[in-house]
Homo-oligomer: A and B are copies of this chain.
Amino acid sequence: MSSLLPTWPPELTPAQHAHLLNLSISHALSHGFTLLPPQTPTPPTHAFAAPLSLFPTPFPRELYFLARDIQPIYNALYARVALDWEFLDRVMGGSVSLVDEFQGALWNGWKKIREDIAQPLHLGIFRSDYLLHATDPAGPLDIKQVEFNTIAASFGALSQRAGEMHRYLAEETNQYFGASSHLADLDAYPANESLREIAAGLAEGWKAYGEDDAVVLFVVQEGERNVFDQRWLQYELLEEHDIKTVRHTFAELEELAQIDPESKRLLLPSPLQPDAEPLEVAVIYYRSAYTPTDYPSATEWETRLLLERSQAIKCPSMALQLAGAKKIQQVLAEPGVLEDFLLGSNRPDVGFGVGAGSLTQADVEKLRKTWIGLWPMDNSPLGQEAYRMALEESDRFVLKPQREGGGITSTAGISLPH
């Protein structure tokens, strides 16, 4: 750990530790900072506190604000990637779709229907993940991007609950019993309103669709344990935005989903009120559809393509999902590519104006500074160089698959032959 960070967590007496545990878990259980147990029936019977940290983690203030400040530029970058069919075809049509069946299917599916997509708007809810990094233990700290999530980025709601819980614990215990000077100032606990903001983003999409009676469709996984993270978004949409939501799996949508042939509106007859008018979907919010097990057969791909062709606004569109591939992240790191996307004269307006608009070379540098080296694993000269380095200095590298969903990154030292 960098010597610039305090030793953490601070020490507590056993009694203080036990008290904090009880306060934190009781608060989590009260406030829906929770998960369902594995193999939960429907309806569920009980909930567990989500894994939580008793303390907030010290984080350099300027790097925290840096991460927030550059997010709009990242949003613009990935929006432009998603709109650049030629780029997506070039990258996804290379080694990726050959070695990765899932990314290949996503790309091929999208190519098949992309000329027929009725809805020009895309909706992106992104999460950029960073690690604190110091090359030298005494040296300066930086944030380095792990990945940029463009589909089903989760824990937005529970993150807000975590921040609320830490603030509560501090207030309840005289700032954690004075265990650390870093915990003493409540103004230094950042307000994390990710639940509120993600719901506001979905509401923006709903407004852009412009149909008061339309709903937001949550496409969910069967047996989802992280369901409260999703439910809070549904509650917030209902209470703060007066927007109704429905939840369906791909299997249910295979039965229900219809596209009106004229208007291309996505319609869902309600199995609960068969005589009622079908619901019209304004926004499709995917909390599924990002991993091969979400598509056990060709049917799920057919359903995905049906949804994609509809008038509903997709969060994300297939193009945005493709833009989130690790391979894209790596290609963006190649010389000149980032400049082209942010400053290239023909790039569309995605918030900063056409071309460079209000973006500058300094913005390019800010993003690039958050990257750690990324190399392809293919037959290109860069790929061959990467292969050699991985074999010779395996401890320095991590092997990243295209997959989403966590828990599937291998350190190169373990997964590559020596």
Contacts and interface: CB of A to CB of B under 8 A. Distances in A.
Interface stretch (A15-23, A107-115, A409-417): A15-23
Contacts of A45: 25, 48-49
A168 B235 contact: yes
A48 B227 CA distance: 16
A13 B21 CA distance: 44
Q: Size range of the interface on A?
A: 35 or more
Number of copies: 2
Interface string A167-194: 0100111100110000000000000000
Interface string A9-53: 000010110110110111101111010010000111111110000
Contacts of A29: 32, 34, 44, 46-47, 228
B238 A172 contact: yes
Given A46-B48, A47-B47, A244-B172, A30 B235 contact: yes
Contacts of A47: 29, 34, 46-47
B232 A15 contact: no
A246 to B, nearest CB: 10
A44 B26 contact: yes
A271 B15 contact: yes
Contacts of A273: 16, 174, 177-178
Contact of A22 (B18, B19, B32, B42): B42
A17 to B, nearest CB: 10
A34 B45 CA distance: 11
A379 to B, nearest CB: 50
Nearest 3 Cβ contacts at the A-B interface: A30-B32, A22-B43, A25-B43
